[in-house]
A and B are shown apart, each in its own frame.
Chain A
Amino acid sequence: MGGLFSSKGKDKKTESRVTEQDKAVLQLKQQRDKLKQYQKKINVQIEKDRNVAKQLLHDGKKDKAKLMLRKKKFQESLLEKTDGQLDNIDRMVTDLEFAQIESQVVQGLKVGNESLKKLHQLLSLEDVEKIMDETREGIEYQQEIDDLLSGGLTAQDEDDVLAELDAIVQAEVTDELPEVPDDELPEDKRKDKPRKEKRQAEALAS
């Protein structure tokens, strides 16, 4: 029986996503709509007055026509005023909407910052250093195991291996070079300069 009156069974009404700023924007926009409707009304009146003034002029009633045009002029000044008010309202609406966007951006940054802090708490600088040291130790230990498995060469053995390698390289280089002749070069017996050179010398002299 108690279940009939308890609120447990009832579905909770979904929480409204409308903010106070939204309400302010709506009120401003309603004011804007009223001004626009007022402008429409004035425009109709202006057109009507203009036509009446035309008709009065046509009928020769110049004074009444002038009066009508004065009324029209006053209506036009009202239109200008409402334009200014509309401009103010539009600016205010834009500012409010942009302020909401800015607020959301700041909120997003705040959430991001908190998440980053939590991540930093999970991994401190000391922890990272400790992990790096352990990694280094692990690598060194692995190197020792590798050395043991590959036959465990001593430092002397390593030197011998390197010396042998040098000898092989040297032998390969020697094999590749051509033999140098040890004969003496013959003397140059030509004493006279060639004719061509003689002719050139004569030409220069003259």
Chain B
Amino acid sequence: MILKQSKPPDNQIQPNSDTRKKQLEAWCSLILNYHKHKKSYSIDVTEILNSQLCHNKEIDRKLSLDGLYTVLDELCRTGHLEWKDPKTKKQCLVMWRSPEEWGNLIYSWILSKSMTNTVCTFYELTNGEDSEGTEFHGLEKWLLLRAIKTLETQQKAEIMMFDDSEGVKFF
């Protein structure tokens, strides 16, 4: 898989603050684009360290574990990443689109389908036949819930949870 990157970011974290800032921006952009391309919403530190993203076998260059943590912490700071367990820092959730952006995408689709004042199941939104071809098709449940919560604060939706039923009503 080839990702369009004008110049691959350096594998060693730079000491100079300006260079370091540019380098971290490049790495963050690369990681987010990589996961967007793969439609992946989680990162396993061990897996990603040995993946083609951090390890270029052709020139035998590899991003160090400390370097990777520096990049992931930067993503965490910008709100694109969240550690599942901040103590162990082994796995994290990646958001290459913010929950607000996902919420707006979902709501735009709801409006285009004239589905306001309609009840939807979470399965219907992310795995239904109607949502096939949309960007949020296949969206993981934890991120879907966050996206809908942003709509809830705008009073555009209300999450329904009772007994074994989970869904959302749009307004």
Q: Give residues in A with beta carbon < 8 Å to B.
A: 14, 16-18, 22-23, 25-27, 29-30, 33, 37, 97
Q: Is the CB of B121 within 8 A of A33?
A: yes
Contact B165 A26, beta carbon cutoff 8 Å: yes
Residue B9 at the chain A interface, CB threshold 8 Å = no
A29 touches which one: B120, B163, B171 (CB < 8 A)? B120
Q: Report the Cα distance A17→B160, complex, angstroms.
A: 10
| Cα distance A97–B109 in the bound complex, in angstroms | 20
Q: Which of A17, A30, A37 contacts B167 (CB 8 A)?
A: A30
Q: List 18 A-B contacts (CB under 8 A).
A: A17-B158, A17-B169, A17-B171, A18-B158, A18-B160, A22-B160, A22-B169, A23-B165, A26-B119, A27-B163, A27-B165, A29-B121, A29-B167, A30-B121, A30-B164, A30-B165, A30-B167, A37-B123
Interface residues of B (CB under 8 A from A): 118-121, 123-124, 128, 155, 158, 160, 162-167, 169, 171
Q: B118–A97 contact, CB under 8 A?
A: yes
B118: nearest residue on chain A (CB-CB)? A97
State A26–B162 Cα separation when bound (angstroms): 10
Q: How many residue-residue contacts, CB under 8 A, span A and B?
A: 39
B158 touches A25 (CB 8 A): no
Closest to B152 in A: A14
- Alpha-carbon separation in the docked complex, A26 to B123 (Å): 11
Cα(A25)–Cα(B119), bound, Å: 7
A18 to B120, CA, bound (A): 12
Cα distance A37–B163 in the bound complex, in angstroms: 20
Cα distance A17–B119 in the bound complex, in angstroms: 11
Give the nearest-CB partner of A16 in chain B. Answer: B158
Give the docked Cα–Cα distance between A16 and B160 (Å).
10
Known: A17-B169, A18-B169, A33-B124. A26 touches B118 (CB 8 A): no
Chain A positions within 8 Å of B164 at CB level: 30
- Prevailing SS type, chain B contact patch: strand
Closest partner residue, chain A, to B155 (CB atom): A14
Which 10 A-B pairs give the minimum distances between C-beta atoms? Answer: A33-B123, A26-B167, A25-B119, A29-B121, A26-B119, A22-B119, A26-B165, A33-B121, A27-B165, A30-B121
Q: Which residues of B contact A37 (CB under 8 A)?
A: 123
Q: Which residues of A contact B155 (CB under 8 A)?
A: 14
Which residue, of B120, B169, B171, has the highest number of chain A Cβ atoms within 10 A? B169
Bound-complex Cα distance A80 to B51 (A):
45
What are the residues of chain A within 8 A of B118 when measuring CB–CB?
Answer: 97
User: In the complex, A23 Cα to B128 Cα: how many Å?
Assistant: 19
Closest to B164 in A: A30
Q: What is the CA–CA distance of A26 and B119 in the complex, to the nearest angstrom?
A: 6
CB distance from A103 to the nearest CB of B (A): 12
Give bound CA distance, A37 to B124, whole Å: 11
> In the docked arrangement, what's the CA distance between A9 and B169, Å?
29
A23 to B166, CA, bound (A): 10
Min distance, Cβ A128 to any Cβ of chain B, angstroms: 42
Count chain B CB atoms within 10 A of each CB in A14, A27, A37 and give the residue with the most. Answer: A27
Contacts of A33 on B, CB cut-off 8 Å?
121, 123-124, 128
Residues of B within 8 A of A27 (CB): 163, 165
